[in-house]
Amino acid sequence: MKRILNKTIILTIGLMLVGGAAFGQIAFSELEDGVEKFSNGIAEALPQASTTGLTWSDARVRGFPHFGVGLSVGAVMMPEKAFTGLAGDLGVELPSTLVTDLGVPFPSYAIDGRVGLPFVPFDIGAKLGLLTPGMTESLDGAVDYMLAGFDVRYPILKGRLLMPAVSVSAGYNYLSGGINTSVSGTNWESFTADSDNSDLNDILSELTLSDPNLRFAWKTHSLDFKVQASKNLLIFTPYAGGAYTYGWSQAGGGISADIDYGTYSASELKEALDTVGYEADVSGESFAILSGVDGGSVRAFGGFSVNLLVLKLDLNGQYNFTTGSLGGGINARIQL
């Protein structure tokens, strides 16, 4: 399972960079423009991607000691313009099989669990998904990924006779990640210092890059509020609901390489990038520039589960009215 997830993330995000060539220098203005387009496009959909997990079919809130634990895997379609804009600025050709009219799939996964609380009509859920660069070292790329969160549910209707069960929930999600990947045919050794800031240009002009790869990174914090209804029908449980998510997101990219700063230092580059308005992650091995997008979105979701004794298999889909993004997922769990 771990290797499948590793390959999925690398093929989905890493393959977008396989294509054209660039030699000698990389223009900072082109990287800057491409990263800004990528950031603005992907950051809008990141909060929705962070909601993978804890959307289970049964809206009933059961007390202690009822619990469940399982695995959720999902994907959200990221806006196609974010990737094509980046590719155009860097002269990289995207595979036609990856970029579709619906967007670019962004995969996510989490191990999730839920337990009823004693004495009060609430249950609480938690989730965690993790990949480290060491877990992906055998593949062509280095990936880091973390998804974590929790929610609390409260019952509105218990779902007796012909009435469905209805619950409301509030939760917090955190999603971060990045990928270092090579681009076919590139031979970047230095920057063309064409920033609008002269101090930044002085530093860029002295940078020397050894074995450079592209670095893309993202992170989001989100609050998620949901209402959900479900009805048990023999071995099936259909469900539907709506949600409002507010996220604080950042996304961007840069270079992963052995960087020689000449007469300058990593801290001076970070300060110069901060001065021109970028939050920067700078070290002797990489630098990345990030820009942020905050805001809320409304989505609808629904699906059904197949219930085989204590084993539940969920299928779900979702549509974000604010961003126009589609999403879907699957959950397999043991629920008592």
At residue 325, the pLDDT reads 87
DSSP assignment of 235-288 equals: TEEEEEEEEEEEEEEEEEEEEEEEEE-TTS-HHHHHHHHHHTT-EEEE-SSEEE
Exposure letters 232-262 (e unless 16+ CB within 10 A, then b): beeeebebbbbbebebbbbbbbbbbbebebe
Confirm if 299 and 242 have CB atoms less than 8 A apart.
yes
At residue 97, the pLDDT reads 55
At residue 31, the pLDDT reads 76
C-alpha span between 102 and 55 (Å, rounded):
23
At residue 141, the pLDDT reads 56
pTM of this structure = 0.84
Nearest to 326 by CA among 5, 54, 72, 74: 74
Cis peptide before 155 (omega within 30 of 0): no
Q: What is the DSSP letter of 160?
A: -
The shares of helix, strand and coil residues in the chain, as percent rounded to the nearest 5, are 20, 55, 25
Spell out the residues 6+ positions from residue 133 whose beta carbon is closer than 8 angstroms to its own: 142, 143, 144, 180
Band (140; pLDDT cuts 50, 70, 90): low
pLDDT tens digits along 259-312: 888 899 888 888 888 888 777 778 777 777 887 888 899 999 999 999 998 999
Residue tagged 């990928």 (tokens): 179
pLDDT tens digits along 164-208: 999 999 999 999 987 776 655 556 777 887 887 888 889 888 888
Confirm if 83 and 67 have CB atoms less than 8 A apart.
no
Half-sphere exposure (Cβ direction) of 104: Cα atoms closer than 13 Å: 28
C-alpha span between 234 and 255 (Å, rounded):
55
At residue 179, the pLDDT reads 75
pLDDT tens digits along 226-257: 999 999 998 999 999 999 999 999 888 777 77
Nearest to 175 by CA among 157, 148, 210, 202: 148
Confirm if 105 and 95 have CB atoms less than 8 A apart.
no
Band (146; pLDDT cuts 50, 70, 90): very high
Residue tagged 């204590």 (tokens): 310
At residue 86, the pLDDT reads 64
pLDDT tens digits along 26-79: 778 777 777 777 777 777 788 999 999 999 999 999 999 999 999 999 988 887
CA distances from 92 to 23, 85, 165, 171 (A): 12, 10, 50, 39
